[in-house]
């Protein structure tokens, strides 16, 4: 499933969070900028973001680009990507696959690989990385800063992340992940809107909107 491409990266994000990094000096300018950006995202009451994911295979095959969207509000989120929709209200998580018209419902555990919150993409740099500034360039009226991140845990499958952040608006613009296997993935935020009103029901799967959908409920099994 294509959605697994995104979640495999999110699992890597979590791996970086739990790794214990050595105490080393980091680029002070990059450090300040990233702290400012983290602070801004954490202050949002809600976030709506559209993005593209460019996948560059290691075998030289043609690169592919897919579009996705993410809504978040506190511990709640909704993700549309790769023919799947994921709804999470902080207690349960629903994964709907359009191709099979099936929806899997499970208990949500933010500390498991199934429960990783994709909003971590917007603060991925906070733990487990060294970073250094790599210059800036102008984009309209904004100044875009380029920052290179290297993981302190050398056992992770990737060796480099390249961020582009808006130095003026203090927002993430893009993230390029380079894997040891040779493939690369670039996530580009095409639009983001903060603090818009989002009803809680948007984070719950509504069966009435999906005619004939099959519900696979794993919540009762997990209690046994």
pLDDT at residue 17, as a whole number: 37
Count the neighbouring beta carbons within 10 Å of the beta carbon of residue 212: 6
pLDDT at residue 29, as a whole number: 86
pTM exceeding the 0.95 threshold for the entire prediction: no
Nearest Cα residue to 1 out of 87, 107, 93, 81: 81
Cα 194 to Cα 77: distance, rounded to the nearest angstrom: 14
pLDDT at residue 60, as a whole number: 81
| Furthest-apart CA atoms within the chain: distance in Å | 57
pLDDT at residue 223, as a whole number: 52
pLDDT at residue 59, as a whole number: 86
Mean pLDDT by 10 residues, the chain (224 residues): 51 41 60 92 95 92 94 93 92 95 92 66 87 92 94 90 94 95 94 96 96 94 54
pLDDT at residue 113, as a whole number: 54
**Which residues, including other chains, have CB under 8 Å from residue 53's CB and lie 6 or more apart?**
5, 6, 65, 66, 68, 81, 185, 186, 187, 188
pLDDT at residue 15, as a whole number: 41
pLDDT at residue 115, as a whole number: 55
Element (H, E) at 32: helix 28-43
44-60: b (≥16 Cβ within 10 Å) or e = bebbbbebebebbeeee
* Residue 176 near residue 60, CB atoms below 8 Å: no
Cα 57 to Cα 61: distance, rounded to the nearest angstrom: 6
* Residue 186 near residue 70, CB atoms below 8 Å: no
Domains and CATH numbers, the chain: 3-223 (2.50.20.10)
* Residue 113 near residue 66, CB atoms below 8 Å: no
């Amino acid at each position: 499933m294509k959605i697994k491409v995104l979640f495999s990266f999110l699992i890597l994000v979590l791996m970086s969070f739990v790794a214990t990094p050595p105490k080393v000096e980091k680029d002070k300018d990059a450090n300040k900028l990233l702290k400012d950006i983290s602070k801004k995202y954490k202050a949002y009451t809600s976030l709506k973001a559209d993005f593209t994911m460019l996948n560059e295979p290691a075998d030289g095959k043609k690169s592919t680009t897919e579009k996705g969207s993410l809504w978040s509000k506190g511990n709640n989120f909704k993700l549309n990507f790769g023919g799947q929709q994921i709804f999470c209200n902080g207690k349960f998580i629903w994964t709907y696959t359009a191709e099979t018209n099936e929806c899997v419902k499970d208990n949500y555990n933010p500390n498991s690989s199934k429960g990783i919150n994709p909003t971590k993409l917007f603060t991925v740099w906070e733990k487990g990385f060294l970073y250094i500034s790599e210059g800036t360039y102008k984009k309209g009226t904004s100044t875009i800063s380029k920052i290179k991140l290297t993981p302190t845990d050398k056992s992770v499958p990737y060796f480099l992340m390249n961020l582009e952040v808006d130095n003026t608006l203090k927002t993430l613009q893009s993230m390029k992940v380079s894997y040891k296997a040779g493939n690369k993935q670039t996530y580009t935020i095409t639009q983001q809107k903060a603090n818009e009103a989002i009803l809680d029901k948007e984070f719950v799967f509504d069966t009435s909107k999906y005619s004939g959908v099959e519900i696979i409920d794993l919540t009762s099994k997990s209690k046994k």
